[in-house]
Amino acid sequence: MLSLDLSFYNWELFTNYILKGLLFSVQLTVIATVGGIVVGTFLALMRLSGKPILVYPATFYINTMRSIPLVMVILWFFLLIPMLIGKPIGADLSATITFIAFEAAFFAEIVRAGIQSVPRGQAYAGEALGMTYGQNMRLVVLPQAFRNMIPVFMTQTIILFQDTSLVYAIGAYDLLKGFEIAGKNYGRPIETYILAAATYFIICFSLSKAVRAIQAKVAIIR
C-alpha cells in the first residue's frame, strides 16, 4: 500500500534544492516575457505593415513557431546553436534564447489583436493632427492597445511559467529539477513530485486571480 510522508519537507530542503530552481524559473519567465513582448511587437507591426517584404517573413515565423511543440524548439536550439557557433552556450542561456524566440510568436498575435482592437478613429485622429505612422503607433495606438492587452499578457505569462518546466529536457536547473534532485537525495521521489505540482498550482492559481482583478479594473477604465 502506498504511503505518503511529507514530513521531510522543511526549510533546509527548500533553500538547498528548491529555491535555486524557483529563482531560475521566475527569472526565465520574466526575461522571456519582456523579450517576447518586444520582439513580438516588432513582428506584429511587420505583419500589419501591409508591405509584402515585411508581412511574409513575419507571418512565416509566427505560424511556424506556433505550429511546433515547445520542447522540440528547446532541443533544436540546445543542439543546433553550439554546432553553428562552434562552442556550447549552456542550458540556461539556450533556454532563455529559445523562450524569447518561441514566445515572441504568441505575443505577436496578442499585440496584433490588441492593435486591431483600438478604434480606427483614434488612428485617423492622429493622422489628422499630422502625425507620421510611427508617431501614431507610438503615441496613440500602442498605449491604448497595451492597456487592453495587460490581462492577456499576464495569462500568457502564467502559461510561460508552466512551460519553463520543459527546460528539464536539456538539464537546466529549474523548479521541477530542484524538486527532482531533492526527491533523489531524500529518497522521496513521489512526494516531491506531488509537492512540485502543488507549488506550480499555488503560484499559477494566485497569478490567475490577479489577472481577473486586473481585467476587472481595465474593463472599468474602458
Whichever domain contains 113, its CATH number is 1.10.3720.10
Q: Where are the alpha helices (DSSP H) in the chain?
A: 11-13, 19-48, 52-66, 70-85, 91-117, 120-128, 133-136, 142-163, 175-186, 189-221
Model pLDDT, residue 123: 67
User: Per the structure, how many domains does the chain have?
Assistant: 1
φ and ψ of 8, to 5 deg: -70, -20
Residue 2 inside a domain? The answer is: no
Residue 5 inside a domain? The answer is: no
CA–CA gap between residue 212 and residue 50 (Å, rounded): 35
The DSSP line for 103-133 is HHHHHHHHHHHHHHHS-HHHHHHHHHTT--H
Residue 6 inside a domain? The answer is: no
Residue 40 sits in which domain range?
Answer: 11-221
What's the angle, vertex CA 104, arms to CA 56 and CA 177, rounded to 5?
140
Model pLDDT, residue 1: 45
CA–CA gap between residue 222 and residue 219 (Å, rounded): 5
Model pLDDT, residue 14: 84
Model pLDDT, residue 222: 54
Residue 62 inside a domain? The answer is: yes
pTM here is 0.87
Low-confidence ranges of the chain (pLDDT < 50): 1
Single out the residue of 147, 157, 142, 139 nearest to residue 206, CA to CA: 157
Residue 50 inside a domain? The answer is: yes
Model pLDDT, residue 71: 92
Longest dimension (CA), the chain: 76
